[in-house]
Amino acid sequence: MPQQYYGISALTQNYSKPTEVAQVDKEIVSVRVLDIILDESHPDFEKYGGWNGVGTIFYDTVGIPTGLDNINTAYPLFPNHKAYPLINELVPLVFLSSVTDQLDVTSTTAYYLPPINLWNSQHHNALPDPTTEVAQASLGDYEQAEQGNPRNVRRVEDESTEINLGEDFNEKIEIHPLQAYIGDNIFEGRWGNSIRLGSTTQGKNNNWSEEGENGDPITIIRNGQREGITEDSWIPLPEDINGDKSSIYLTNGQKIPLEIISQDYDSYEEDAYPTAPKDFVGDQIILNSGRLVFNAKNDHVIIAGRDSINLKSPAAINIDTSKVVINSGAIFLGDKDAEEPVLLGDQTVAVLADAFREISKWMEVFNLNPVDELSAQASTAKQLSFTLKNEIIPDLENKCRSRQNFTV
């Protein structure tokens, strides 16, 4: 009997391949997910490979229920795109090459694709076994298709669902699908989060196609859709920059009706106001959320603008740091029209100290000499007066005023 090789050894040895070539089952079958391994809390986590088994599903073939007593397992087909199904969702199943294929070309493994889009819903597409009590209890949530329309519509109108979707998955009936426009590539999560790779579509009901040309690209990343839209949660809606919870817009020629928290531009000259975000047409990136945090863990935060950088808040702008360096040709404090120069601290102290010393000398003259003898000190008084007028006062005027910092 020839020696058998396994693992890496099998790849490096010249062994005879079986003459029979495996006939891979080309049929795609629909199966219903009964359970799935997502983390170490699953009771069969170690049995199915630990972390290497994440994504393993247990399933029944649709129409041939076996239950968990007769275990069928399958693994996700795509390595870089994770779209794990919920319990009671249907997934397409294919049988393809197995990890043991190097030794037995007839060996195959069951792999599953993302869930079947039964209800055209991004939230879930579960369909419980129709023979179960749960399925019977949820029949009212499924509206039969009109004649000529091949699709049923899942419409939960009693604010409840009886379908088991998994231990930690609670159905949210208010989440709308995203409205699509011609040419879009859209990636939607289950919870109102999405990425749109789209374009300007003039005449359509969205908030980015008022300006620009059809086909101007736009990318929208949204996390959390606006609330209180409509009771008909199966109706698709576009993004809303002001209503959605958190958004990033990357535009190219569009105008986005963003309402910013402060409309003040009092620090600008009237002919230099920046275009308000809701009026700007062109290329821009907009970040809009309840809170923004910019944190550079290892290096600098660099903010640059060709025309200006506008920081605004109706409350306050606070800077907490060990040192503030502002390198500018002119700094205006309190108002853009400030004209009063700020005093230079060291220069002011030095000049005032000199002034007080000279005044002190004057006082000494008066204190040490009787009034009738002042005439004899005229030359001294004259020199002191000259010093005050020609040295100290000019220093106060010329050295103590800042030429860059102004206040009101």
- What's the whole-number mean pLDDT along residues 341-358? 81
Mean local confidence (pLDDT), 222-241 = 86
Closest CA to 281 of 212, 221, 215, 213: 212
pLDDT of residue 11: 33
**Most confident among 94-108, 329-343, 352-366 (mean pLDDT):** 329-343
Six token digits for residue 98 = 């197995």
Distance between CA 150 and CA 395 in Å, rounded? 92
Residue showing tokens 């231990």: 167
Whether pLDDT at 273 is above 50? yes
**H-type alpha helices, 144-260:** none
Could you give the C-alpha distances from 345 to 324, 387, 388, 401, 402, in angstroms and in order? 17, 22, 20, 10, 10
Q: Residue 351 pLDDT more than 90? A: no
Q: What percent of the chain has a predicted confidence (pLDDT) above 90?
A: 47
How would you class 165 by CB atoms within 10 Å of its CB: exposed for 0-12, middle for 13-18, buried for 19 or more?
Answer: buried
pLDDT value, residue 3: 47
Compute the average pLDDT of residues 74-101: 90
The whole-angstrom separation of Cα 178 and Cα 121 is 10
Q: What is the DSSP string of 374-406?
A: GGGGHHHHHHHHHHIIIIIHHHHHHHSEEEEEE
Averaged pLDDT, 220-248: 90
Q: How far apart are the first and last CA of the chain?
A: 99
C-alpha span between 220 and 185 (Å, rounded): 11
Measured distance CA(184)–CA(93) in Å, rounded: 28
Least confident of 41-45, 204-208, 300-304, 344-348: 344-348
> What is the pLDDT, as a whole number, of residue 399?
77
**Residue 117 is which amino acid?**
N
At 256 the pLDDT is 96
Regarding predicted confidence, which is higher, 343 or 250?
A: 250
Strand residue runs (E) in 62-199 = 73-76, 90-97, 108-112, 142-143, 153-154, 185-188, 193-199
Q: How confident is the model at residue 81 (pLDDT cuts 50, 70, 90)?
A: very high
Question: Which of 22-26, 53-57, 138-142, 353-357 reaches the highest mean pLDDT?
Answer: 53-57
pLDDT for res 229: 72
**pLDDT at residue number 387:** 78
Q: What is residue 138's predicted lDDT score, i.e. its pLDDT?
A: 58
> 35 and 55 in contact (C-beta within 8 Å)?
no
Residue with the larger pLDDT of the pair 173 and 103: 173
Rounded distance, CA 386 to CA 370, Å?
23
Q: If we measure between CA atoms, which residue out of 23, 25, 5 comes closest to residue 15?
A: 5
Mean pLDDT value across residues 371-393:
69
Percentage of the residues of the chain whose pLDDT score is greater than 70: 76
- Which pLDDT score is estimated for 315? 92
Q: Two tokens at 115? A: 């869930």
DSSP letter at 203 equals T
| Stretch among 2-6, 69-73, 86-90 having the lowest mean pLDDT | 2-6
Q: How many CB atoms lie within 10 A of CB 148?
A: 5
Cα dihedral 374/380/386/387 (nearest 10): -120
In the numeric block, which tokens belong to residue 85?
């199904």
Q: What is the CA radius of gyration of the chain?
A: 38
Residue 147 predicted with pLDDT over 60: no
pLDDT at 127: 87
Residue 66 pLDDT more than 80?
no
Residue 157 is predicted with a pLDDT of 57
| Residue 25 near residue 95, CB atoms below 8 Å | yes
The one-letter code for the residue type at 163 is: I
pLDDT, mean over the chain: 82
Distances (CA, A) of 119 to 145, 226, 233: 11, 22, 12
Determine the pLDDT at residue 23.
42
Question: Which secondary structure element, helix H or strand E, spans residue 363, and what is its range?
Answer: helix 345-368
Phi first, then psi, for residue 404 (nearest 5°) are: -125, -30
